[in-house]
Structure 1
């Protein structure tokens, strides 16, 4: 089947290209993300279903028109960015923000960063725009994030800590708000925002996922400079909802991001699913709203928050991911590179940091490079690469090391 070119579905192709780099990064890391196995079950483990033919354009339209607001199920979530073993440094990088300085281990901002590495099992449930729940299942504990009306609760059973915030989105409606984070549906929607005329989009066969018949939508960059090999989405044939999202790198090997339902139901979850009362003796931390002062927890100071919540919020802005001022985008489509100036010096080497775990971590990630721009270090993963020049300029994208150096040279 011929590729479906995205300029037929993007109202403003130029805007779509500019935003490509902005959305590819959170999809990969979630993400961001981020974001996330050798997922079990595989896409098709019991024979491909015989479904009517469908074009890529029609399948994308089916995804966009999907109106699933009620569901429950289990999601396996995996990321393999090829990062080195951080050892004792890992807890300092991912858990320190929440576990020290008066923060809460139940704060979702810190807790959900765990999805950026390894394999995890999530239980998800949604019932319209005002009720969602995601539970991260661990060996002997569980972390739950619950949105019920005006309240957003985070609960860490291991520490018996609770995080509470008021949802500014409550009652506003809208399909987007009904989606729990870290699902194939959200990842697919972010990926499709990067589709433009530098992209090939095709339907390549069918699959069984979580006991349901699905089409396989394949999204591939046409440009050779991208580190993205392809994105494969299993789209539920009946509802149009993505059931599985797999991103494989151009370098080959295991998927970088592999997220999919292993069980799913589209029946309305029980109302009690979204009920939450802090357990007796739990430490409850209230999120501070922007401009608030001295509003904290019942047993410890609260953190100063952004006022943004994991459900139904856009972490980016027109200035780039996270609202970084002065960010520019170089190039189009999948070869897009985000660049900004830190206003300071480049990243020190391991010897300059005094060695140890941090120094070894920095040196293991970085490759020294030179060019017309001067000298710098490329920090690499299996998907996202970043060049930090010695004078503090940063170039980052889902592109190769050579593409980053070329962009830095061209900026001189």
Structure 2
């Protein structure tokens, strides 16, 4: 965290009734919260105002599909976690189910619609290092990514209390002071006993309805049994076992965040995005994006986008009420929860 933002007053009147707490103390409690396990049902909804991209189906069998899936519509998932390295996420889609689970020794990815399953043996790792689960369906991970954006340009206050999944929660509100971001505010509903974020609501700078909301509709903080994280494929399901990787597998993240440092990846390439800027003004850059130039669906889509140019070159700006992207003629893409001008400023300072 770059620094401590402006802290608001102690909450005075709220319902349900909870002891008064300062924003500084509540923030500290959230950042140090730790539970041995939990399980529950998570509901997410998103309306970022993204224009439809021709040729992109939003399927779940690719990283781009997982991103577009989370950035639109409503989704429900059953989740379970147990320290240090057990996790299970079951996403329910139109009478079908997709499961990702690991017991710390093996990991499974299963799609009931395709009747396919992939099994991986999880390599040894340092004790205490948790296995990563799909972050778009974990309110704690989504909350952390916004908490990491807190800097002196962030106002932090307690805006009241509410009931989430039948539990009493404080409302911790993060309000960016900078005009470089499209985020108006982020509110975390924080459990009053465990200090775990139960819900995250993101409001755009314009409008009163949340652009993104993800939270528990039911939750238990009892540690799930070991059998929760085992998986047996149904009869007739095709199972593949790819070659064991040398590092622990990660599930693609659906919310932009600072990537782990991995020296084998080249910064800015499709395999190694670069994060430019800090906090609310962070921009993700990817190099080597190929535009066909053959008049296909993507080119038709970009034809209607605004053309911009500057010291960084020439390109197209794709805008929405939350996510904006700059696609340059030399194959670079800059994207983030920032204004179009912030994208161009980042492009001007970015390495070629």
| 172 and 368 in structure 1: CA distance in 2 versus 1, 3 angstrom threshold | same
Q: 73, 88, 95: which is aligned to 1:118? A: 73
> Are 2:45 and 1:78 aligned?
yes
> Are 2:198 and 1:252 aligned?
no
SS at match of 2:227: helix
Correspondence for 2:249: 308
| 199 and 319 in structure 1: CA distance in 2 versus 1, 3 angstrom threshold | farther
Residue 229 of structure 1 deviates from its aligned partner by 0.9
Residue 329 of structure 1 deviates from its aligned partner by 5.7
Residue 330 of structure 1 deviates from its aligned partner by 5.2
Q: Would the aligned equivalents of 1:141 and 1:157 in 2 still touch at CA under 8 Å? A: yes
Q: 342, 345, 361: which is aligned to 2:301? A: 361
| 120 and 154 in structure 1: CA distance in 2 versus 1, 3 angstrom threshold | same
Correspondence for 1:31: none
Q: Distance in 2 between matches of 1:179 and 1:96?
A: 16
Q: Would the aligned equivalents of 2:143 and 2:197 in 1 still touch at CA under 8 Å? A: yes
> Are 2:230 and 1:275 aligned?
yes
Correspondence for 1:263: 218
Q: Which one has the bigger helix percentage?
A: 1
* Stretches of structure 1 lacking an aligned partner (at least 5 in a row): 10-46, 98-108, 292-305
SS at match of 1:59: helix
Q: Give RMSD over aligned pairs.
A: 3.4
Q: Distance in 2 between matches of 1:7 and 1:232?
A: 19
Residue 72 of structure 1 deviates from its aligned partner by 1.4
Correspondence for 1:219: 174
Q: Would the aligned equivalents of 2:155 and 2:177 in 1 still touch at CA under 8 Å? A: yes
Correspondence for 1:36: none
Q: Which one has the bigger strand percentage?
A: 2
Q: 317, 323, 330: which is aligned to 2:260? A: 317
Q: 37, 49, 59: which is aligned to 1:94? A: 59
> Are 2:193 and 1:238 aligned?
yes
Q: 68, 87, 93: which is aligned to 2:35? A: 68
* Stretches of structure 2 lacking an aligned partner (at least 5 in a row): 6-13
| 118 and 288 in structure 1: CA distance in 2 versus 1, 3 angstrom threshold | farther
Q: Distance in 2 between matches of 1:398 and 1:123?
A: 28
Q: Would the aligned equivalents of 1:232 and 1:245 in 2 still touch at CA under 8 Å? A: yes
SS at match of 1:94: coil
Residue 180 of structure 1 deviates from its aligned partner by 6.3
Residue 205 of structure 1 deviates from its aligned partner by 0.8
| 319 and 220 in structure 1: CA distance in 2 versus 1, 3 angstrom threshold | farther
Q: Distance in 2 between matches of 1:143 and 1:330?
A: 34
Q: Distance in 2 between matches of 1:239 and 1:179?
A: 21
Q: 271, 276, 279: which is aligned to 1:333? A: 279
Q: 3, 10, 35: which is aligned to 1:7? A: 3
SS at match of 1:7: coil
| 120 and 372 in structure 1: CA distance in 2 versus 1, 3 angstrom threshold | same
Please say which of residues 190-199 and 271-280 is displaced more in the overlay. 271-280
The two structures have a TM-score, normalised by structure 2, of 0.81
Residue 54 of structure 1 deviates from its aligned partner by 1.1
> Are 2:10 and 1:55 aligned?
no
> Are 2:133 and 1:168 aligned?
no
Query: Aligned residues, how many?
Result: 334
The two structures have a TM-score, normalised by structure 1, of 0.70
Q: Distance in 2 between matches of 1:68 and 1:178?
A: 16
Q: Distance in 2 between matches of 1:353 and 1:52?
A: 63
